[in-house]
A and B are shown apart, each in its own frame.
Chain A
Amino acid sequence: MYKPSKQEAAKLLRQMMEIRQFEDKIMELLSKNIAEGGSHLYAGMEAVAVGVISSLNPDDFISSTHRGHGHAIAKDGDLNALMAEILGKKTGVCKGKGGSLHLADLNKGNLGANGIVAGGLGIATGAGIALKMQKSSKIVVCFFGDGALNNGITHECMNMASLWKLPVLYLCENNLYAMSVSINRACSVKDFKKRAEAYDMPAEIADGMDVLAVKEAAIRWIDYVRKGNGPCLLVCNTYRYYGHSRSDPRVYRTKEEEKFYKDRDPILNFAQKCVKEGWLTEKEIKDIEASVTEAIEKATDFAIKSPLPDPEELYTDLYV
């Protein structure tokens, strides 16, 4: 089991709390119609983004998904600018032109969320080509959901990456469903490791509800990819707490199943562990939580008070 330093434990906990509170806040803003449009929320899956991204170097790259708030926050995203982007404001990380589905921050190595399932596979794999040509020691982590396993480009990219030994870590967030369709009803191969085998690429399955388990596996595979061994597949088994979107009544899954995963909540469990192992005191945890709440309130306030983009922005940024 990976043992974090005190400082590291505090950081992991803080980031997971930031993501959770950020997503809860977005849900609140959606129900009050302050946020419009859709948002796919990452609550429940925090250990994956945080466990993996905290194991990268700051100048490594990620590609994200339609459920991208968590990745963006973990990749050192600015809470104010992310919140403002989701509200479509001028001060957003993409000037309010992208929105929740297109959060990106290239300066921080985030190659972007994506409205197209599996849309990040080409980007990440292509970034892998560039890094390899540059003989760089940087790597790319390509996040995607179980649903993306069944889109053609995933197959095309994994084959190419393995063929050319590209520095890409394919990170499958298996939360058991793609919208309403369970993996059992969508995937002919239930053991996703076999997918990697088909490309002669190593794979591992990690407990995506446990940030230390994710970290432990991530560190090992990041090292493997960084050393030039080619790509690998790391599957993190996890769960999304909210419905796919706001209007989703979740008829395709049971209350018992939801409870099963919520009982293994990545934040509560890690907080408990921190106390048990003596990494953090109850008081320190309370303080972290309070300071996260403050940061989220600030970001919300910032986003709400920010102006919409100027009308002229409609035509900017299309061509250089």
Chain B
Amino acid sequence: MREITYRQALNEALDEEMARDEKVFLMGEDIAIYGGAYGVTIGLLNKYGEERVKDTPISEAAIVGTGLGSALLGYRPVVEIMYIDFIGLCMDQLNNQVAKIRYMFGGKCTVPLTIRTEGGAGRTLGAHHSQSLEAWLMHIPGIKVVMPSTPADAKGLLKSSIRDDNPVVFIEHKMLYNTKGQVPENEYLIPIGNADVKKTGTDITILTYSRMTLFSLKAAEILEKEGINVEVVDLRTLLPLDKTTIKNSVMKTNRAVIVEEDTRTAGAGAEIGMTVMEECFDYLDAPIKRIAGADVPMPKAPNLESLAIPSVESIVEGIREVMK
């Protein structure tokens, strides 16, 4: 194995899938010459040419809408929405067209469309460039929602997303692009819908995803020294949720804490928590707790931005409370 960044891992996934299947092509703003706002598509224009790596106008609705149209005719488009904050501009296409078309047409078509986007706070970019909007997407039957936390997961899951015959929204995190991790040399896939236990533990389960997995692992390290043995479950896919892994973990630890970066009210954690209730209420020794983003637009000021999302400290604090 070798260590590469999350960014490189994503780039490899795109590269391998484009080499493997000529129906795969890319569209998005500044993805070709520039290589993507966060550099994920660097080098692909030179390798695959303008036909398969298309810079688009600033037309989010058309990016997703035309992605769908080409998918219906047998292509496997991977389109990029530069920031998830811009997903509102294409939400009609996503919700009314992409997600529903197969069902409405009685199963007579497939939509092998991948929408790559990126979200999260951490760069003090303010309210229009820092959001975590996964819960909006989890509410749409007909799409899948993937949010990897490590380079290896990012690569394996992006490859699976591209090969999936269903529409997948693949959400990266802006603060993860430079993080490094072990990634296998050989080709591999990670199935959509499978959570991953990133750290085993016996006392309490953290259910989390994306960047908060890294925060949770740090919190677990600190708590270990206090004799609290935390299990960290990285959900990796939010739609569909991996109920089996959630259940197995909570049945073992009897306590569940959800750590999510999105705003708390009607956030991803609400669904995850209710899943725990439905799947393993009888095994719970304490109420489920959510450690979530504040219910506010993301403020610019660096101190307020940090306060608006969970921190390692707030996770540690929250777990101590549940363990009392």
Known A-B contacts A115-B129, A313-B304; the reply to A181 vs B29 at CB < 8 A is yes
Known A-B contacts A116-B86, A186-B57; the reply to A308 vs B302 at CB < 8 A is yes
Q: For the complex, give the distance between the alpha carbons of A118 and B126 in Å.
A: 17
Asked if residues B123 and A311 are in contact (CB atoms below 8 Å), the reply is no
A2 CB, nearest partner CB in chain B, Å: 33
Residues 16-46 of chain B, each 1 if its beta carbon lies under 8 Å from chain A, else 0: 0000000000000110011001000000000
Question: 8 Å CB contacts to B: which residues of A144-193?
Answer: 147-148, 150-152, 178-181, 185-187
Asked if residues B300 and A311 are in contact (CB atoms below 8 Å), the reply is no
Known A-B contacts A36-B124, A99-B124, A114-B128; the reply to A151 vs B60 at CB < 8 A is yes
A1 within 8 A of B: no
Question: 8 Å CB contacts to A: which residues of B120-151?
Answer: 123-129
Known A-B contacts A116-B128, A308-B303; the reply to A314 vs B296 at CB < 8 A is yes
Asked if residues A150 and B58 are in contact (CB atoms below 8 Å), the reply is yes
Chain B residue nearest to A90 (CB atoms) is B301
Which of A36, A116, A119 is in CB contact (< 8 Å) with B302? A36
Which of B30, B59, B128, B308 is in CB contact (< 8 Å) with A115? B128
Chain B positions within 8 Å of A4 at CB level: none
Max count, chain B CB within 10 A of own CB: residue among A97, A147, A178, A315:
A97
Chain A residue nearest to B304 (CB atoms) is A314
Could you count the A-B residue pairs with CB atoms below 8 Å apart for me: how many are there? 129
Question: 8 Å CB contacts to B: which residues of A35-86?
Answer: 36-38, 85
Chain A residue nearest to B59 (CB atoms) is A150
B190 within 8 A of A: no
Chain B residue nearest to A38 (CB atoms) is B125
Which of B30, B124, B303 is in CB contact (< 8 Å) with A309? B303
Chain A positions within 8 Å of B59 at CB level: 150-152
Asked if residues A308 and B301 are in contact (CB atoms below 8 Å), the reply is yes
Question: 8 Å CB contacts to B: which residues of A209-264?
Answer: 248, 251-252
Asked if residues A38 and B30 are in contact (CB atoms below 8 Å), the reply is no
Asked if residues A178 and B58 are in contact (CB atoms below 8 Å), the reply is yes
B51 CB, nearest partner CB in chain A, Å: 14
Chain A residue nearest to B295 (CB atoms) is A318
B61 within 8 A of A: yes
Chain B positions within 8 Å of A114 at CB level: 128
Question: 8 Å CB contacts to A: which residues of B283-324?
Answer: 294-297, 299-304, 307-308
Chain B positions within 8 Å of A248 at CB level: 34
Chain B contact patch, size range: 35 or more
Question: 8 Å CB contacts to B: which residues of A282-320?
Answer: 308-309, 311, 313-315, 318
Q: For the complex, give the distance between the alpha carbons of A252 and B59 in Å.
A: 20
Chain B residue nearest to A66 (CB atoms) is B128
Asked if residues B126 and A99 are in contact (CB atoms below 8 Å), the reply is yes
Q: For the complex, give the distance between the alpha carbons of A98 and B296 in Å.
A: 13
Asked if residues B125 and A102 are in contact (CB atoms below 8 Å), the reply is no
Chain B positions within 8 Å of A120 at CB level: none
Which of B58, B123, B308 is in CB contact (< 8 Å) with A37? B123
- In the complex, besides A150-B58, A181-B29, 17 extra interface pairs with C-beta distance below 8 angstroms are A88-B299, A90-B301, A96-B304, A97-B299, A97-B300, A98-B127, A98-B300, A101-B126, A115-B128, A116-B128, A179-B30, A185-B55, A186-B55, A252-B34, A309-B301, A313-B299, A315-B294
**9 sample A-B contacts, Cβ–Cβ < 8 Å, listed by A number:** A98-B126, A101-B129, A102-B126, A116-B85, A180-B34, A251-B34, A309-B301, A313-B304, A314-B304
Chain A residues near B (Cβ < 8 Å): 36-38, 85, 88-90, 94, 96-102, 114-119, 147-148, 150-152, 178-181, 185-187, 248, 251-252, 308-309, 311, 313-315, 318
